[in-house]
Chain A
Amino acid sequence: MKQFYGVTLKTPLMLGTAQYPSPAILADAFKTSCASVATVSLRRESGRDKSGQGFWSIIRNLDVHILPNTAGCYTVKEAVTTAHMAREIFDTKWIKLEVIGHTDTLQPNVFGLVEAAKILTQDGFEVFPYTTEDLVVADKLLDAGCQVLMPWGAPIGSGQGLNNLQGLRSLRAHFPDIPLVVDAGIGLPSHAAHAMELGYDAVLLNTAVAKAGNPVEMAHAMALAVEAGQAAAIADPMEPRDMAAPSTPVIGKAFLT
């Protein structure tokens, strides 16, 4: 398994921490998912409520790597400032860099993404860029110092799965040594398994688990899916073909007509 900035993950599942019905369900979902990374965010905190402090104590006990995000940032400056604040709070160089370009699709502003990635890498961050499957952008992100790429499968929270298989395959083929993560759009375990079957190194998902009728059970399903997909990729799947090919030997068949 490839390393993510020098870190070998125990499992190829990165799980978000948002939208769960309760903190207890979040914690249970993490346990059954066997996720090795938790994505977190930063939001305004009131001196009276201190709601973020309780959340942090739950996350701290999950025994996972913390990957803070810059979700909701639309400009390079916002994203860079948020990353600095996240580094101080979570005490990690890792940052899931999001520079959002469109409110409807939440697709990355890849121009801003490359610019922010360059700034943050120079500042010592280890950037996990939420990007598209565009090869040219991927090249620019690597030039900017990123050592991981996280192309979307589909728009965030849409649950549509892998919308551009050809693009994702192409990215895998062009960057065989770069850790690749499908980030966003996963709705079902089959989507996650498919991403892993393509040879991706991990998947990052949140809504598919948090918004399932039974998040804890879905988390378990995702754990099985990524494990199966990863094993399948290692096993070197057969090539699909247009015509049938008998699997039962023809030679030795009796003449019974």
Chain B
Amino acid sequence: MKINVNGKPQELKSGSLSDTLAELGYGDAKIATAVNAEFIPAALRDTYALTEGDELEILAPMQGG
């Protein structure tokens, strides 16, 4: 299944958002996710199924003013 992760196309196994994050190596990192510009809370990641062509955004704490 091909999805865009932070703007870059990637070939990934199909499954839940949690499975995808594990496959991408995020482990227990402090991140927040959005799919197709909609926020997906951490509590929904286990049941949220990604589909072909989805735009996945994975954000983490960063410097800011």
The chain B residue with its CB closest to the CB of A78 is B37
Instruction: Say yes or no: is B1 at the interface (Cβ < 8 Å to chain A).
Output: no
A47 & B39 in contact (Cβ 8 Å cutoff): no
A42 & B65 in contact (Cβ 8 Å cutoff): no
B65 & A156 in contact (Cβ 8 Å cutoff): yes
Task: Kindly supply a per-residue 1/0 record for chain A positions 11-24, scoring 1 wherever the CB is within 8 Å of any chain B CB and 0 otherwise.
Answer: 00000111110000
A56 & B59 in contact (Cβ 8 Å cutoff): no
Q: Could you say which of B29, B31, B65 has the most chain A C-beta atoms within 10 Å of its C-beta?
A: B65
Could you tell me how many residues of chain B have their Cβ less than 8 Å away from some Cβ of chain A? 26
Select one of B6, B34, B41, B63 contacting A46, CB under 8 A. B6
Instruction: Say yes or no: is A69 at the interface (Cβ < 8 Å to chain B).
Output: yes
Given A45-B29, A207-B65, also A88-B60 (CB < 8 A) = no
A85 & B64 in contact (Cβ 8 Å cutoff): no
Instruction: Say yes or no: is B38 at the interface (Cβ < 8 Å to chain A).
Output: yes
Select one of B29, B32, B37 contacting A77, CB under 8 A. B37
Instruction: Determine the chain B residues whose CB is within 8 A of the CB of A45 once the complex forms.
Output: 6, 26, 29, 31, 58-60
Instruction: Determine the chain B residues whose CB is within 8 A of the CB of A46 once the complex forms.
Output: 6
Instruction: Determine the chain A residues whose CB is within 8 A of the CB of B61 once the complex forms.
Output: 40-42, 52-53, 55-56, 59, 89-90
Could you tell me how many residues of chain A have their Cβ less than 8 Å away from some Cβ of chain B? 38
Instruction: Determine the chain A residues whose CB is within 8 A of the CB of B41 once the complex forms.
Output: 84, 88
Tell me the chain B residues, 1-41 only, with Cβ under 8 Å from chain A: 6-7, 21, 24-26, 29-34, 37-39, 41
Q: Could you say which of A20, A46, A206 has the most chain B C-beta atoms within 10 Å of its C-beta?
A: A46
The chain A residue with its CB closest to the CB of B5 is A47
A55-B62, A56-B60 are known contacts; what are 18 more A-B pairs with Cβ within 8 Å? A17-B65, A18-B64, A19-B63, A40-B61, A44-B59, A47-B21, A52-B59, A52-B61, A53-B30, A53-B60, A55-B63, A69-B65, A71-B65, A84-B32, A85-B59, A86-B32, A88-B42, A89-B31
Residues of B within 8 A of A (CB): 6-7, 21, 24-26, 29-34, 37-39, 41-42, 57-65
Question: What are 5 A-B interface contacts by the 8 Å CB criterion?
Answer: A39-B64, A45-B6, A48-B25, A89-B61, A90-B61
